[in-house]
Structure 1
Amino acid sequence: MSQNSPRQSPWLARPRPNPSASRRVVCFPHAGGGAGFYRPWAERLAPTHELLAVQYPGRENRYAEPLVPTVDEIAVAAARALLTEPARETVLFGHSMGAAIAYETLRLLEAEGATHFTRLCVSGRRITDFPEEIDPAPRTDDELLAAMTELGGTQAEVLRDPDLREMFLPIIRNDYHLIDTYRPPRDAKPIRADVIAVIGDSDPQVDQRQAKEWASVTVGTFAWHEFSGGHFYLVDHVQRVVELTTRGLSA
């Protein structure tokens, strides 16, 4: 993978730059989300940690850039950007769509020989039970609105405003199609990093059994945790999720 200057990469946002940090947490947003979703995390991390959030094209400061249509393309770009960063113990955290992208990014990083990515936290996302057939057609506007309403969160509220809906619906349509057409590779080599799966106890998209299936992707340790709430449970449990994500990291 070719490498660019880490400070110039548009793929990595730093809410609070901390060049002296000995550890790093890299967060991957959900469908329709941007790096700003994780800004509250930066205030809750220990001084030894720096937060990076992956910024997908087509949103926030990258709004004018073309949307990326596949998980693989985003994972390649994210891995390339992360490989330019100084080697520090690093956790990848991804929520919903971001969990799939974080997993694929970590597979690429390990394939490149990187050993400092020691933990993968996957939130609100399953790794099994996908339909065999992939529908090539993107969801309709009504289907997207119904899906967002079911999941709740701030995006469902945003879509009630006609002007904001016109702005954000193309992003959400792209991301839903991106994740609807993604399938974890069946022949994937198990990752070395430890894995933690996290869900809300009333999430309509993933249950306890599906969360535990993430154990199959790693030869490292596995744990799973459940919080009260729906798909966006982590909004109400920011401090506890941050603590879970970074707990027990080596010095």
Structure 2
Amino acid sequence: MNHKQKTILITGNRKGIGRYLSEFYLKKGYNVVGCSRSDSDLSHKNYTHYLCDVKVESEVKTTVREIKKHKGGVDILINNAGKASLNHSILTPSETVKDLFETNYLGSFLFSRECSKQMIKKKWGRIINFSTIAVPLDLEGEMVYASSKSAIEKMSRIMSKELSTYNITINTIGPTPVYTDLIKVVPKDKVEEIINMQTIKRFGSLEDISNVTNFFISNESSFITGQKIYLGGI
């Protein structure tokens, strides 16, 4: 399939990594669909935006159904929407646990489930889920955040087995700290601690991320599924 005929859905793309990836793939000629809880000012003839809260099942179903109706369905899904929180475990409110798991894990699951139904009919698909380097590093204060992302990794591996016969691959990327709004909730000394634990001791760049997403979605990567790549080395 020519990439110019493919439709990429990127969740949580109003700003940060999602916004960058949206503009990146529009420049490459893809049809890009984005969704967030508020309007986006991204304007392009090949771009469509939907209002959607990823943790609300009815909104996810409606969004994916509308993409099918107007774009012919989702070919590539990038589950970028997510939240972070820094709390010592004994000081973590239950609402924080619920919110992070519903946004990070449930949101990724709902979109993966609904989009994969369309991909099965096409007998082709790529799903990329976002994890974090906080998973393997077992960082203090990031128990809930890392746990929600660890659940995404396990989901990706099992779904990759369940969907492999339909030429659908599911892989995971685990970024290091990148200069986005998400990192603003993490104290500067904590960010420096994370970077010093990496093999390559620097912030990740947006280009580092698109390098991996390109690798995962390419036709040449049809034999790569159920894998995870952590940026920066651990």
TM-score normalised over the length of structure 1: 0.45
Going by fraction, where is helix more abundant, 1 or 2? 2
